[in-house]
Chains A and B, each alone.
Chain A
Amino acid sequence: MRRALANIFWLATKEVRSFLHDFALLGLMIYSFSLAIYAQSQSTSQELRNAAIAIVDEDRSALSRGIAQAFLPPYFKAPVHVTASEVDRLLDTARYTFVLDIPPHFARDVLARRTPAVQVNVDATAAMQAGVGAGYIQQIVTDEAARYAARVDAAPSDPVGLAVHIAYNPNVLTSWFNSIMGIVNNVTMLAIILAGAAVIREREHGTMDHLLMMPLTPFQIAMAKIAGNGAVITVATWLSLTIVVRLLLRIPISGSVPLFIVGVMLYLFFSTSIGIFLGTVARSMPQLGLLYILVAVPMMLLSGGNTPLESMPLPLQYIMQASPSTHFVSFAQAILFRGAGIGVVWPQFAAVVAVAVVFLALALLRFRRVTAASIG
């Protein structure tokens, strides 16, 4: 037992050294944990930012001018006045996402309490912005109209107020979400690539035979790859979280980083196992790359870290419950955004461990079989 642990330890140090000399992978890892995280944090894809808006002003009143002035940066670009005949063409070519049509006599009708309607054309193909923007526009138009009406007579207030609080991310910033989810996706991506590449490298260089001729077991060799590459990724995750996210991007992390790191380590057992499994299936690095795209991309994309899990078709939701990446995203959000402790996230931890054990066993079995029948 001590012998086995010592073997795994020394082989794992070799793995780390090998990785540090593979400049392509090292470069990929540094890029993914620094620049790529930074670039993703600059994205505003989930917020309403610089939305292109045009107004057909058929009223030309103080109210219509007031509405136009109420569309402010950073949410909207300055509205552009267009004529009604241009609307279709502008929307067809995606020049504007929103086009407002303020009807003639709008201001007069508001004052007369005839409840006139402003028409908003939304390019509904503009994914996330369309829905969020429509809500903002509705709010702005209603508020402006109410204010205008109130100059004439005071409007009665609503009998029931609504206080909406956005918890954990009060300004609803995409950068918070994207940078953390970027790190989470990196862990999955790099664990698979590094562990898979470690297996392929050994096979391509013919050193696998050499290892198997030593008093080592395939189990020890595989565990060393898991431990070595897992350690590299754990350190990179921690550095990225503290230096890039906290120090450079100044994003507050409410939860316990050590608890998150423990979770990352548990998850790495799973993801490196997948990497080893793919490394035994692929015959060359390019094949590993193509397999990676087919396996890891869906695993990352459907884990709930990019789009809401509950909007996926039900069968897909059930399938994804079997993937630890789903639980990983779930506890990462819980710990880092919402400050959850072990008392809250232990079920996810347990689920990750359970699936990881199964995949670890599968990967080891496959590794043993492939190494036993390695063809030079």
Chain B
Amino acid sequence: MTAPVLEVEDLRVRLRTPRGPADVVNGLSYRVGAGETVAVVGESGSGKSVSVLALLGLLPAGIATVTGRALLQGEDLLTMAPERLRQVRGPGAGMVFQDPMTSLNPVLTIGRQIVEGIRAHGDVDKAAARRRAAELLGEVGLPDPVGALDRYPHELSGGMRQRVVIAIALSNSPALLVADEATTALDVTVQAQIIDLVEKLQAERGTGVVWITHDLGVVAGIADRVLVMYGGRCVEDGTVDDVLENPVHPYTRGLLGALPDLARPAVGGVVPDLATVPGVPPAPTDLPAGCVFWPRCPVRGDARCETEQPPLAVIGSADVRLPHRAATWCTDRTSGTESPAGGFR
């Protein structure tokens, strides 16, 4: 196995808020290999965006305290000198943000916004950088890439803008691409195009991808591995097949129940209602003492759930390269009710 592109160990983020310190990320660990896609899934407020912003030092200074380790190609991002971190942003890791309507500067041309990223990392003259920018725009599938250089963000549609943001993220051929809800704001067809694009580019360049989303449909399409986040913790992780077809944690199962089953025909033309997990995630200023999911858990019962925090334990075989793990006390009880297809002992 080759060295991972990104190796996160026990990442913790505490934010200072008016209502006291908020533990937004609580001990997150994962690895992303070259050419691999790890999806981080969870509701809004589960800490998934904060966890990646923390990696690149993009959280507001003075408000966030980040601890743990995050090795990008062997170098710890969290202890890096500011200037080195600046150099890493771009060639080391590129980032695509959620809302293409706001993630580009409205008063600067597309060209300028790509060119400045290229020129920040190497002695490239303006004309060369512009040619490279046009190439990139072509690669991400923008029609008339040269003409697009002189256009402003508001002249492009949301999907086109997101392609521009991806072009910016890829402009320095990063080893790691972080996509934070990159398709959430887009309509379904555009979503699919963007996902295809990232997969294609990833295959060509061997980029590692961290894909943050709350959309399990996207996860199924793109991810190799899945990490389910809740209350700032990883509650379940494993290969995409393990987690999506064999969910263990009640929260994951709740999320999956919320997926419309496309295979199931609509009754009388009516699409069945989406199942949802009732309630809202816990406030990061006031996390439960036991299992973070306890207050909303539909199958809770054990007193242990309320008072003792379940560790992330391997389910099934620990011998495989990517074990399936979950942090819950109720693995044994659940097998009787929903009987996920095998694997429990």
Please determine whether chains A and B interact with each other in the same assembly: no
Interface residues of B (CB under 8 A from A): none
